């Protein structure tokens, strides 16, 4: 007999995590377990307020799917049972974990990846703050090779300038979280190109980015909020050079792998993204990251304490799951 559980858990964050839409000090996640014949698979999601999700709404969605999941549906059937989003992500990843453990097969094999999973290099996030504080944060973390800088509009050139001065050798990627205007895109991007910025995520609101159809950005632009699932890719390809794929948006590893393949076929580069969450959220992301050009899986690095067992982080190098927190 198969059983499903869904639990809300809180993980304190080391420091205030701040983006253009707000700040938080705790990562609230929903953890799903699916158990069958003495084997348990687990998945984790972060309800995404940007898409009107909350822990309560996610748990309600999962509860609606309980009967079908406990009756034995598989990963493919799940895609039609729940919409893209956090709820489906947690259940999808739990079923991947359960399937791999039950079949005694690696996740890489189930995902049709060649060879074993390899460690990946993640970007590390600097929260939105004053230029002085962001410069100080960059100095503290300047030993890490890739810094992801959260931005918020006015004052962003000063923020990036402070980070670049404090971490002159780091690779920089930026995330505006929909906070810029078209005028700021035009003004900022040539200067940021001179600062050796490698990409800028979601400068304009997802529903108001037509300006990008005719703008030739000197810095590659990545779609985050504009890129949710397969259905959004056609619009993304006309405006952006990179698709940021997050499992909490796609609704799990299954759709994320499909989005990555489709993005490649459209000529887009790809990025594995994450929310602030534990190793249980990152582990399926490491599978996706085997295929993507950029990787952002630093969630546990921002927490005051991760799960145990957890993924192994060596500096910014994230090692694949070994069967502890998730299937190998």
Q: Are residues 102 and 131 in the same domain?
A: no
Q: Are residues 49 and 165 in the same domain?
A: no
- Decide if 192 is inside a domain: yes
Distance CA 313, CA 121 (A): 10
Q: Are residues 266 and 293 in the same domain?
A: yes
Q: Are residues 164 and 259 in the same domain?
A: yes
Whichever domain contains 282, its CATH number is 3.20.20.120
Given 24, 148, 150, 269, which residue is catalytic?
150
For range 249-275, the mean pLDDT? 98
Given 24, 148, 246, 269, which residue is catalytic?
246
What is the 8-class DSSP label of residue 210? G
Distance CA 78, CA 172 (A): 37
Q: Which residue among 80, 110, 140 closes a domain?
A: 110
The pTM score is 0.96
At 13-35, the pLDDT tens digits run: 999 999 999 999 999 999 999 99
Average pLDDT, rounded, for the chain: 97
Q: Are residues 137 and 106 in the same domain?
A: no
Q: Residues of the chain with pLDDT > 70: what percent?
A: 100
Task: Evaluate the CA torsion angle 220, 225, 226, 232 in order and state its sign.
Answer: positive
Q: Are residues 186 and 231 in the same domain?
A: yes
Number of domains in the chain: 2
Q: Are residues 156 and 271 in the same domain?
A: yes
At 149-205, the pLDDT tens digits run: 999 999 999 999 999 999 999 999 999 999 999 999 999 999 999 999 999 999 999
Q: Are residues 163 and 258 in the same domain?
A: yes
Pair 198, 220: CB distance under 8 Å = yes
- Decide if 70 is inside a domain: yes
pLDDT band at 115 (very low <50, low <70, confident <90, very high): confident
Q: Which residue among 92, 110, 128 closes a domain?
A: 110
- Decide if 323 is inside a domain: no
Whether 52 has a pLDDT exceeding 90, the answer reads yes
Q: Are residues 94 and 124 in the same domain?
A: no
Q: Are residues 88 and 126 in the same domain?
A: no
- Which secondary structure element, helix H or strand E, spans residue 317, and what is its range? strand 317-318
Q: Are residues 34 and 79 in the same domain?
A: yes
Whether 114 has a pLDDT exceeding 90, the answer reads no
- Decide if 326 is inside a domain: no
Q: Are residues 161 and 265 in the same domain?
A: yes
At 240-251, the pLDDT tens digits run: 999 999 999 999
* 24 belongs to the catalytic site: no
Q: Which residue among 110, 143, 167 closes a domain?
A: 110
- Decide if 180 is inside a domain: yes
- Decide if 261 is inside a domain: yes
Whether 120 has a pLDDT exceeding 90, the answer reads yes
* 246 belongs to the catalytic site: yes
What stretches of the chain show up as alpha helix (H) in DSSP? 55-70, 75-81, 86-103, 107-110, 131-140, 156-166, 182-194, 233-237, 247-250, 253-265, 279-289, 299-302
- Decide if 325 is inside a domain: no
- Decide if 178 is inside a domain: yes
Q: Residues of the chain with pLDDT > 90: what percent?
A: 98
Pair 29, 11: CB distance under 8 Å = yes
| Domain interval for residue 197 | 120-318
Distance CA 77, CA 69 (A): 9
Whichever domain contains 44, its CATH number is 3.30.390.10
């Amino acid at each position: 007999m198969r059983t499903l559980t869904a639990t809300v858990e809180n993980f304190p964050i080391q420091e205030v995590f701040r983006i253009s839409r707000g700040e938080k000090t705790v990562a609230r996640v929903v953890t799903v377990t699916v158990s069958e014949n003495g084997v348990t698979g687990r998945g984790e999601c972060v309800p995404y307020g940007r898409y009107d999700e909350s822990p309560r709404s996610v748990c309600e969605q999962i509860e609606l799917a309980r009967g079908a999941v406990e009756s034995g549906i598989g990963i493919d059937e799940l895609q039609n049972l729940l919409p893209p989003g956090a709820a489906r992500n947690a259940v999808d990843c739990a079923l991947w974990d359960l399937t791999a453990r039950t079949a005694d097969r690696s996740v890489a094999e189930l995902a049709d990846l060649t060879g074993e999973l390899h460690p990946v290099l993640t970007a590390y996030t600097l929260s939105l703050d004053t230029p002085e504080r962001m410069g100080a944060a960059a100095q503290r973390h300047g030993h890490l090779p890739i810094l992801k800088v959260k931005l918020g509009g006015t004052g962003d050139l000063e923020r990036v300038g402070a980070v670049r001065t404090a971490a002159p050798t780091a690779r920089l990627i930026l995330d505006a979280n929909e906070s810029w205007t078209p005028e700021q895109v035009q003004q900022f991007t040539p200067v940021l190109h001179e600062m050796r910025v490698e990409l800028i995520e979601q400068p304009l609101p997802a529903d108001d980015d037509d300006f990008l159809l005719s703008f030739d950005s000197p810095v590659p632009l990545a779609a985050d909020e504009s890129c949710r699932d397969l259905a959004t890719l056609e619009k993304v390809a006309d405006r952006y050079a990179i698709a940021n794929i997050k499992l909490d948006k796609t609704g799990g590893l299954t759709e994320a792998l499909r989005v990555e393949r489709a993005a490649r076929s459209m000529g887009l580069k790809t990025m594995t993204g994450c929310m602030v969450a534990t190793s249980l959220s990152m582990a399926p992301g490491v599978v996706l990251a085997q295929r993507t050009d950029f990787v952002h899986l630093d969630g546990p690095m921002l927490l005051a304490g991760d799960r145990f067992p957890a993924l192994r982080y060596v500096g910014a190098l994230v090692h694949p799951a070994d069967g502890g927190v998730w299937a190998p």
